Chain A
Amino acid sequence: MVTSIVSDKPPSNFVSLKLSAYISTIASIVFTLSLVPAFASPAYFGAQASNGTAKREEAQFLLEWKSSLDNYNQAVLSSWRGHDPCTWRGIGCGSSGSVSELNISNIGLGGSLRKLNFTAPLNLVSLNLSVNSLCGPIPSSIGNLSKLSTMSIFNNSLSSTIPLEISKLSSLSILYLDGNHLHGTIPEEIGMMHSLSNLSLYDNNLTSQIPTSMRNLSILTFLALGQNNLIGSVPREIYTLSSLAFLSLRINKLTDSIPLSIGNPSNLNVLNFQQYFLSGPIPREIGRLKPLSRLTLSGNNFRGPIPVSIGNLTSLALLVLAPNNLSNSIPEEVGTLRHLKELRLSQNSLNGSISRSIGKLINPSVPSLHYNHLSGFIPDEMNNLRTLRHFSIGENNLIGRLPDNIYLEGLLQNFTAPNNHFDGPLPKSPKNCSSLLRIRLDGNQLMGNLTEDFGAYPNLKYIDLSHNQFYGELCSKWGCSHNLTSLRISSNNISGGIHPWIGNLTRLRVLDLSSNYITGRLPREPRGLTSLLELDLRDNKISSNIPPEIGHFRTAMKLNLGGNKFGGLIPPQLGQCRSLWILNLSNNEIRADTPTDIGNLQFLSDLDLSHNFLVGKIPQSIGKLTILEVLNLSQNSLSGFIPQTFNNMLGLVSLNISHNYLEDPIPNIEAFRDAPYSAVASNKAGLCGVVAGLKNCSERAYSEKGNKFMILVILLIVSFILLTSLFTGVILLACQRVKSTEQDLLEAQVRGDAFAIWGYDGKMVYENIIKATEGFNSKYYVGEGGYGVIYKAKLSANQAFAVKKIHASQEDDIFGSMSLEWEVNALANI
């Protein structure tokens, strides 16, 4: 069972919702603490008397840096020319006329800051170079910008250490260096930056400990140190910085636990300890962080129950405890968090039933409870959760009905509840539910009529209803879901046919309707399905021929039509589906030769054509499937020999050719040598070879080269035996001749011993024949053969012989000729 559940992705409009919410809460903090001092100090600017000389110096300093950049980047700063920087792009001047602001963020600027020499008498208050491609080090001269209040160089490619000199910036209140490649340590001296309120070093390669001096940053509001390689423990005092509202230490190598003191008077609004290697129970003191609105403790190893004290965090809007190893049931108190929108408790070991109180949450949009051990019914109270956007309760042991009304507000996008024990009908859905993008209800016991119980989902991308008890025909309304990429309804009770509307689903990648009762034909116009990766229709009752249009599935990797009633032949166009790695046409009624085009499927690793009525030979081209690992041709009517091209299929791990009419030697390849007898059983008696239990072949079972050699050896042995016999015979006869009388010999001839005729003294026989035929008189003429005239010679009283007088010119050629011998035999009975 292949499953997954949607969990985390808020839609884009949701992002903007959250943005507005946070801008309202954070803006006050940031503005009051940091930005306002930077821009609202006229005295500050006034102190800088503007004169021409100073301006020229500033211009020169900036132009020097510009000239260090390459041509492209100089062009980006094309407005930087002349002596009055106040008119240049990204330059702001104070009331005194001196440069106070350098803001060239997000203009595609590349190059190094090395030549940005801050030793010039600059009165910069704000430096913003963010979202560019700047590389190299942060110049240490930055420490000279004693008036600097804001420094923001996030999202660049800076790759130095953080210069110690930065700690001289006693006026700096905002420091954003996140999203660079900074390495080394966070300098201990950072504790001297008493004006610092916002510090973000997030997403760098910093490797030090968090300096204890940071406890001196008494007005620090925002601290983001996540996604570094920070080690050691967090100085306890950080938790008690009275102004700290945002603390994110996510994804580091800190080895620490949440201190019990965490609940001391605190203004923490956001706390993120994602993937922090924390373990043990979540301390109940966390409930003292009353202002907390966002708590993320995901990806740790927390055990034990969710503390009941969580119910004290009445401002909480986001609670992410997934994944951890939390157990016990979800405390009722979670339901009292009136502002909670996102509740993510998935991938824990929570058990018990879902508490009724969760149904009382006022505006939850993302309850995410999948991958737990929750059991029991979904409380009726959840029927009223109409603001849901992502509802994820899969992979639990929940029973009963799915909650009703959850579609009604038209907000639900992801509805994932696979692999539970839900039964009964689906929640009622409006006729046209355009919000739904993803439905996963596979692996339950849900029941209902597909045509009647499903609406149209014009934006649906993914639906999986496999392993339920849905019946009826495929819902034609889905033909309008033009974005649908996966349609999986395997193992249900669907009947009816596959209608041509399926061809409208031009983005469909997976169509799995296996193990149903689908009848009828395959649509002949699957033109729209040219993006298919997987077509699984196995175990249905489809009875057409396989249409030649199957060749359109050029991107298909898996094609399974097994267990149907497909008849006719395998269309040669199948050879065009060159991306296939699984092809299963087994258990059908295909009655034809195996097409040679099958050899074109060069990436095929699993081929099953078993249980059909395939006839003819296994095509030679099968040897082109060099990647093939599994081959099943069993239970067909294949005949002839197994092609020697099998020798190319070195990757075969499993093969079965049993129950056919195959004969002759089996190719001597590893797959056959390792195969059990059952893989070759029930073929013609001539099948022989290397499989244990199969009879040994004659020597030509081996390769053709070997065959020739063996035949030669056999011929030599046979010739040797014949020659020896002939030689022995001649010797024996010679000995006999010495002892015997003429009469004895004649009698021996007359007894019909062919050997005696051939081997005897020709001259004496010849004289007898001349005597008997009276010099080949024509009255003894019998007939004429190919090589001469035949006469009847009566050599004794009871025995007559046919004698052939051979034409003299042919004499040399015909001796030893088989045809002569046959002629002699034919005449023997005259």
Chain B
Amino acid sequence: MAICLLFHLALLMLSSSLAPTHANLEGEALYALRRAVKDPDGVLESWDPTLVDPCTWFHVTCDGDNRVTRLDLGNAKLSGSLVPELGKLERLQYLELYMNHLEGPIPKELGGLKSLVSLDLYRNNHTGSIPASLSKLSNLKFLRLNGNRLSGRIPRELTKLGNLKILDVSNNDLCGTIPTSGSFSKFSEESYVNNPRLEGPELMGFVRYDTGGSCD
């Protein structure tokens, strides 16, 4: 008993120096992801939080200021859930987490990724709704959320994304009607197929969008 407690005390004291330096906020945000996912192939093995920044970690790319710009973890057999901390990577341009087994909601905090160009979460098991906060991603060009189990309506706020070139929300469980205004005017039906409860493009100016499409 005494030895056990002593050991605990010693560990507590050590923890003061073992902890990562906290200026490494981006490394911490990524490390929070590492902790939250299962990684059977060890693709995150190099993610050592005691390194001063995450720029030498594999699957992470940084810019000249050692700020994270890309996270390339597509097809990496990851399971578990995304963490809100990812929203702190304010220079992140590419968040590539497609074709994994990730589940749970898409954190609304991803709306904080103000440099994001590409958000690829396709072919995972994400549930919940598409966060309206994604409408803050004013640089977003590619939004691929297809092949998940996302439900709820497509947030109307997303039509504000003026730079959006590609939208794919097919193969989900979305409901309501398809927005047609703003940048959404150019997307074809292919962007939305296989959402059984999603109804056709809303009629602009005639009906309110929320009267069409079953979302119960």
A-to-B contact residues, CB < 8 Å: 1-10, 15, 18-19, 22-23, 26-27, 30-31, 35, 39, 101, 103, 105-106, 126, 128, 130, 150, 152, 154, 174, 176, 178, 198, 200, 202, 222, 224, 246, 248, 250-251, 270, 272, 274-275, 294, 296, 298-299, 318, 320, 322-323, 342, 344, 346-347, 370-371, 392, 440, 462, 464, 485-486, 509-510, 533, 557, 579, 581, 603, 627, 650-651, 653, 670
Q: Write the chain B residue with the least CB distance to A8.
A: B50
> In the complex, are the beta carbons of B61 and A150 less than 8 A apart?
no
Q: List 20 A-B contacts (CB under 8 A).
A: A2-B56, A3-B56, A4-B55, A5-B53, A7-B52, A9-B48, A9-B50, A23-B6, A39-B2, A150-B5, A250-B16, A272-B16, A294-B17, A299-B21, A299-B23, A323-B21, A346-B52, A440-B56, A627-B142, A651-B142
Point out which of A270, A462, A650 has the most chain B C-beta atoms below 10 A from its C-beta.
A650
> In the complex, are the beta carbons of A5 and B6 less than 8 A apart?
no
Quick check: is B35 within 8 A (CB to CB) of the other chain? no
Whole-angstrom CA separation of A485 from B44 in the bound complex: 13
- B32 neighbours in A (Cβ, 8 Å): none
Whole-angstrom CA separation of A560 from B81 in the bound complex: 33
> In the complex, are the beta carbons of A198 and B20 less than 8 A apart?
no
> In the complex, are the beta carbons of A200 and B50 less than 8 A apart?
no
> In the complex, are the beta carbons of B12 and A6 less than 8 A apart?
no
> In the complex, are the beta carbons of B66 and A510 less than 8 A apart?
no
> In the complex, are the beta carbons of B21 and A347 less than 8 A apart?
yes
- A274 neighbours in B (Cβ, 8 Å): 16, 19, 22
Q: Write the chain B residue with the least CB distance to A581.
A: B72
Contact of B51 among A5, A103, A464 (CB under 8 A): A5
> In the complex, are the beta carbons of A26 and B8 less than 8 A apart?
no
> In the complex, are the beta carbons of B58 and A510 less than 8 A apart?
yes
What DSSP secondary structure best describes chain B's contact surface? mixed
Q: Write the chain B residue with the least CB distance to A510.
A: B58
> In the complex, are the beta carbons of B16 and A294 less than 8 A apart?
yes
> In the complex, are the beta carbons of A105 and B4 less than 8 A apart?
yes
Name the distance in Å between A396's Cβ and chain B's nearest Cβ: 13
* Contact (A651, B166) CB under 8 Å given A26-B9, A103-B1: yes
- B16 neighbours in A (Cβ, 8 Å): 248, 250, 270, 272, 274, 294, 296
Inter-chain residue pair count (beta carbon < 8 A): 153
Quick check: is B107 within 8 A (CB to CB) of the other chain? no
> In the complex, are the beta carbons of B52 and A347 less than 8 A apart?
yes
Contact of A509 among B4, B18, B54, B58 (CB under 8 A): B58
Q: Write the chain B residue with the least CB distance to A579.
A: B75
Q: Write the chain B residue with the least CB distance to A18.
A: B14
Not counting A6-B50, A299-B22, A485-B46, a sample of 8 additional A-B residue pairs whose C-beta atoms are within 8 angstroms of each other reads: A3-B53, A19-B14, A23-B10, A224-B12, A270-B16, A274-B16, A346-B21, A650-B165
Whole-angstrom CA separation of A390 from B4 in the bound complex: 30
> In the complex, are the beta carbons of A294 and B8 less than 8 A apart?
no
> In the complex, are the beta carbons of B23 and A4 less than 8 A apart?
no
- B37 neighbours in A (Cβ, 8 Å): none
- B23 neighbours in A (Cβ, 8 Å): 299, 322-323, 347
Whole-angstrom CA separation of A225 from B144 in the bound complex: 44
- A296 neighbours in B (Cβ, 8 Å): 16-17
Whole-angstrom CA separation of A23 from B2 in the bound complex: 12
Whole-angstrom CA separation of A270 from B23 in the bound complex: 22
Whole-angstrom CA separation of A1 from B5 in the bound complex: 47
- B64 neighbours in A (Cβ, 8 Å): 1
Interface of chain B residues 190 through 215 with chain A (CB within 8 A): none
Name the distance in Å between A442's Cβ and chain B's nearest Cβ: 10
Name the distance in Å between B204's Cβ and chain A's nearest Cβ: 23
